[in-house]
Amino acid sequence: MEMSFRWYGHDDPVTLKNIRQIPGMKGIVTAVYDIPVGQPWPLERIEKLKADVEAEGLHISVIESVPVHEDIKLGKPTRDKYIAAYKETLVNLGKAGIPVVCYNFMPVFDWTRSQLDYELPDGSTALIFKQEDIDRMDPISGELSLPGWDSSYTKEGLTTLFEEYKEVDEEKLWENLEYFIKAIMPTAEAAGVKMAIHPDDPPYSIFGLPRIITGGEALNRFIKLYDSEYNGVTLCVGSFASDPKNDAVAILKDMLAKKRVNFVHARNVKLTGGKSFEESAHLSEMGSIDMYEVVKACVDYDFQGAIRPDHGRMIWGETGRPGYGLYDRALGATYLNGLYEACVKAKKAAEAKA
């Protein structure tokens, strides 16, 4: 298991120098952020990004993400040209030695929250999802904008997209995902790039849009679309646990046993009733996920991929990109490293006694 950290490039107030000073930190999770969705990433841009990271004594563990164009998700006739561009990017990532790509298949919007600066009892601020607030929001009005969203949409463009998605139910979205997976996976395998689909966040329909990567049953259907360890998942325990119906640790163990976990997001959330939740500190007792069991599962199944402390609170007066400050995520990484060391030593001790 390799500890990694999300970095949003040179505009990120959290610098590579900051990240390198976190004990046990080895990998960077990043992307080329200024190329429009649907265009291929030039090899020289990837190599420049890689060189910048390596110059600070780190390396790129995962690209998060290479966005999937909406025409692919909608199954439009134009999807093939965007799939060709996606494959070109994968080839170039392979040439640069990038091992994993995280991506998602969420229509229109990436991760969604109702508030980005909710004050917790300890005075820190966190991302939260209140179902009743989301139900009252009109995303087309532009009243809600989050860091994970594509900001290039105009109001008119969003209106058109929502109209188009009225013709796409969950089964149609599954068909479009299958078409995409079967098109890209031979290229990914040949390039040596493992794919890691991220679950829908949160893992249920919002704003009337279909969502399909929502739990254990969905993941098992997904991995059957293309039978290869290169067709894997980003096991984001926080995303899955946001739905009270999901047992995130059980889902993790199932995918680890099937060797389909290519990346792990370790985020804790506190369920607050219905489908509402708060993002919490990583410590198990602060949320609804047993992070010890998450790390223990990774050790028990000898997971060798990257794990990163996902969304952190804003603490100690820090300001910056919501969910992606330095301090709380650094605390999370240190906590995860401590759990990892304890689990590894316990496993070795048990094996020595056997």
Catalytic residue status for 310: yes
Residue 308 falls in which region: left (phi positive, over 0), alpha (psi -120 to 50) or beta: beta
The catalytic position among 71, 201, 310, 328 is 310
Q: How far is CA 29 from the centre of its chain?
A: 10
Whether a cis peptide bond, with omega within 30° of 0, leads into 151 is no
The catalytic position among 82, 153, 324, 327 is 324
The catalytic position among 102, 198, 335, 343 is 198
φ, ψ of residue 284 to 5 degrees: the values are -55, -45
Structure tokens at 91: 């080839």
Nearest CA among 150, 34, 43 for reference residue 89: 43
Residues 181, 225 contacting (CB under 8 angstroms): yes
The catalytic position among 82, 102, 153, 236 is 236
Catalytic residue status for 236: yes
Structure tokens at 149: 């969203």
Residue 255: how many CA atoms within 13 Å on its side-chain side?
37
The catalytic position among 165, 201, 311, 343 is 311
Q: How far apart are CA 273 and CA 302, in angstroms?
A: 35
Residues 6+ apart with CB under 8 A from 55: none
The amino acid present at 20, given as its one-letter code, is: R
**End-to-end Cα distance, the chain:** 24
The amino acid present at 105, given as its one-letter code, is: F
Catalytic residue status for 302: no
The catalytic position among 265, 298, 328, 343 is 265
Query: What residues are annotated to the active site?
Result: 198, 236, 265, 310-311, 324
